[in-house]
Amino acid sequence: MINQVMEAIKSSKTIGVIAHKSPDGDSLGSAIGLYHVLKEIHGDVKVFRNDEIPPKYRFLDESEEMTPYKPEKEEVLDLLFVLDCGHPARLVEGRRILDEAIKVINIDHHMNNPHFGDINIIDVEISSTCELIYDLVKSLGIPVNQAAATAFYTGMVTDTGSFKYSNTNPKTLRVAAEILALGVDKERIYREVYQNRRLNEVRLLGEVLNTIEPKFGGNLAFAVLSREKMKKYGLGIQDLDELIEFIRDIEGVEVSVVLKEKEDGGTKIGLRSKGKYKVNEIAKKMGGGGHEMAAGASVDSSLSLTEKNLLLLFQDFFQ
């Protein structure tokens, strides 16, 4: 597998890197990190984004090398790395670049990944796609510069909940220590990601938390964010991601759900569990996927209909 990857890189004139829509720390960290690694050994590498980068992650791409993907303008690539993408549909507009690429390397840690690449590097036991790519890069013998190390560490921190989730194991911490030794400014990462919240995010957080009413004997906490409410505070669907963690941490709550209304009227679903229940089972029934304790889906139905459908599913779930 390692030899196949290196041969694909060496034999390709044009290389692209892309991750899923609605980016998080792991998808951005893996894409930006791999881009910086590949630039060390290859002259023509591009890294694409489907969405705006959330404010808390913009420090990863201060030179703005991550460019918006525009299907009508992009060339057919010799090699495309698709990262942290549990299903091709999560690329949305970027699906075209996948379909047209001559060779695709699919690197991911989601258990429902359908192995859509010509080369598939999937490890569902690993903490994050960033850790998986770091392992790959080490095996390839390619240097990891400070920019790449910063991106990889950010992805590992965010996907492990600052190393407190069940996907953190001794190896995860050893890899994190190796990456830190490459000159990562961990204080800046924590400051940018966790200590740089905008005032309007806090105000909306307070308003939403005031509406929380646990259901099913307190097992489930539900929050709904309409476009109207988000626009009132000048926020978008990519903001307030920490809300789902916040309400999951309520005493007695086993599962938290956050619904966000999309611009097209559909709904983005986020699901988290403390460990007793596997929320990816619910996500799968809604057409999504993810990990046992952290999953989600994107549906075309309205907020109210999505909430109704989810509550029906959870009625059986908690019996």
Q: Buried b vs exposed e over 89-106: b needs ≥16 C-beta within 10 Å?
A: ebbeebbbbbeebebbbb
Q: What is the pLDDT of residues 94-105, one digit of tens each?
A: 888 999 999 999
Please tell me whether residues 169 and 243 are part of one structural domain.
no
Please tell me whether residues 177 and 280 are part of one structural domain.
no
Q: What is the pLDDT of residues 185-242, one digit of tens each?
A: 999 999 999 998 889 999 999 999 998 989 999 999 999 999 999 999 999 888 888 8
**Structure confidence at residue 261 (pLDDT):** 95
Please tell me whether residues 145 and 48 are part of one structural domain.
yes
CATH code, 103: 3.90.1640.10
Q: What is the dihedral of CA 10, 12, 14, 16, to 10 degrees?
A: -80
Please tell me whether residues 234 and 107 are part of one structural domain.
no
Whether residue 48 contacts residue 68, with contact meaning beta carbons closer than 8 Å, is answered with: yes
CATH code, 286: 3.10.310.30
> Which band of pLDDT confidence, cut at 50, 70 and 90, is reported for residue 82?
very high
> Which band of pLDDT confidence, cut at 50, 70 and 90, is reported for residue 69?
confident
Please tell me whether residues 95 and 226 are part of one structural domain.
no
pTM (2 decimals)? Answer: 0.89
- 72 pLDDT more than 90: no
> Which band of pLDDT confidence, cut at 50, 70 and 90, is reported for residue 292?
confident
Task: Tell me the mean pLDDT in the region 258-281.
Answer: 93
Please tell me whether residues 173 and 261 are part of one structural domain.
no
- 9 pLDDT more than 80: yes
Tally the domains of the chain.
Answer: 2
Residues in the chain: 319
From 194, 209, 235, the end of a domain falls on: 194
Q: What is the pLDDT of residues 106-130, one digit of tens each?
A: 999 998 899 999 999 999 999 999 9
Please tell me whether residues 33 and 94 are part of one structural domain.
yes
Please tell me whether residues 301 and 206 are part of one structural domain.
yes
Share of the chain above pLDDT 90, in %: 74
Q: What is the DSSP letter of 135?
A: H
Q: Which domain covers residue 214, as residue numbers?
A: 199-317
Nearest C-alpha neighbor of 101 from the set 82, 118, 77: 77
